[in-house]
């Protein structure tokens, strides 16, 4: 039985609270992301067939079909935003990797290092569904964190060290922040609310 394409669901204050609670302290992106979501009005969404498909405890797992919907949402939204600008770039911080880890050299993904963090990267030129999915798998962990924004230097790099200032500039322009949820089986996406300037 086909259940339909799924619905994007605004999780309201409960999703926003979970988002802030789960941002792991000590990572490079965490304080930058917290600053962004606290200074810019936004909303936290996810995807399901209906609200009843989401557990009330966002730490609980998902039905496999709902999990697939949420992976599709993360991939599609990332690709859409990367297609909007030549200087668009996505960074996903690996929660356990350090720049000196030898296993990184065998990974099929470009990555940047900043301070003691490893950031898998996808830019506008390399954006394809399989590449974004691979980044989500490789950076995957319970509290995986990713950002899509714009920054000229980062958008042109595929490896090597980067300055913290470049990462700060990227996060300040974030159009999307991705956080693993539902026992690492799904995602929450933070999106800025559109400006209501007249």
**pLDDT digits 0-9 by tens, 118-163:** 999 999 998 999 989 888 888 776 668 999 999 999 999 888 999 9
133 located within any domain: yes
Q: How confident is the model at residue 23 (pLDDT cuts 50, 70, 90)?
A: confident
1 located within any domain: no
Residue 143 DSSP symbol: T
At residue 198, the pLDDT reads 44
At residue 144, the pLDDT reads 80
At residue 195, the pLDDT reads 54
197 located within any domain: no
Number of domains in the chain: 1
- Lookup result for tokens 């009005």: 41
Q: Where does residue 129 fall: left (phi above 0), alpha (psi -120 to 50 degrees), or beta otherwise?
A: alpha
How far is Cα 109 from Cα 29, in angstroms, rounded to an integer?
A: 19
198 located within any domain: no
At residue 142, the pLDDT reads 64
Beta-carbon-side half-sphere exposure of residue 143 (alpha carbons within 13 Å): 14
The parent domain of residue 109 ranges over 7-192
Query: CA 48, 178, 187: angle at the middle one, nearest 5?
Result: 30
At residue 108, the pLDDT reads 81
Give the chain's mean pLDDT. Answer: 89
- Return the percentage of the chain with pLDDT > 90, whole number: 65
pLDDT tens for each residue of 60-86: 999 999 999 999 999 999 999 999 999
At residue 58, the pLDDT reads 93
69 located within any domain: yes
């Amino acid at each position: 039985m086909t259940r339909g394409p799924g619905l994007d669901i605004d999780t309201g204050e409960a999703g926003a609270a979970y988002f802030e609670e789960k941002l792991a302290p000590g990572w490079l992106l965490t304080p930058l992301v917290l600053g962004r979501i606290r200074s810019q009005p936004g909303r936290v969404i996810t995807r399901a067939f209906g609200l009843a498909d989401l557990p009330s405890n966002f730490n609980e797992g998902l039905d496999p079909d709902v999990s697939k919907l949420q992976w599709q949402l993360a991939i599609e939204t990332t690709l859409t935003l990367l297609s909007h600008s030549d200087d668009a770039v996505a960074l996903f911080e690996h929660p356990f990797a350090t720049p000196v880890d030898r296993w990184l050299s065998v990974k099929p993904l470009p990555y940047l290092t900043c301070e003691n963090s490893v950031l898998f990267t996808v830019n506008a030129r390399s954006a394809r569904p399989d590449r974004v999915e691979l980044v989500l798998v490789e950076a995957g962990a319970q509290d995986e964190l990713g950002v899509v924004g714009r920054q000229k230097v980062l958008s042109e790099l595929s490896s090597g060290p980067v300055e913290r200032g470049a990462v700060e500039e990227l996060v300040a322009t974030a159009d999307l922040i991705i956080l693993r949820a539902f026992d690492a089986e799904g995602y929450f996406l933070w999106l800025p609310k559109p400006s209501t300037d007249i």
